[in-house]
Amino acid sequence: MQVFRPYIDHGRSAGFLDDLRLGKQRVEAKQVILAILRRLGILRMAGLAGLITQ
């Protein structure tokens, strides 16, 4: 995962970046988190519409 942060401060970076870039980073972060949770067995392999927790 690549993260572009023009400033150290989170709020200032978010204000500087365009919505498209921030949206792509949110999607990528969600994908990484879901992959980790699936590998740990916390989430089963289900579609995003039906996330089933154990």
Q: Which two tokens stand for residue 39?
A: 């590998």
Span between the terminal Cα atoms of the chain, in Å:
27
pLDDT tens, residue by residue, 1-54? 566 778 889 888 878 877 777 788 888 889 999 999 889 888 876 555 455 444
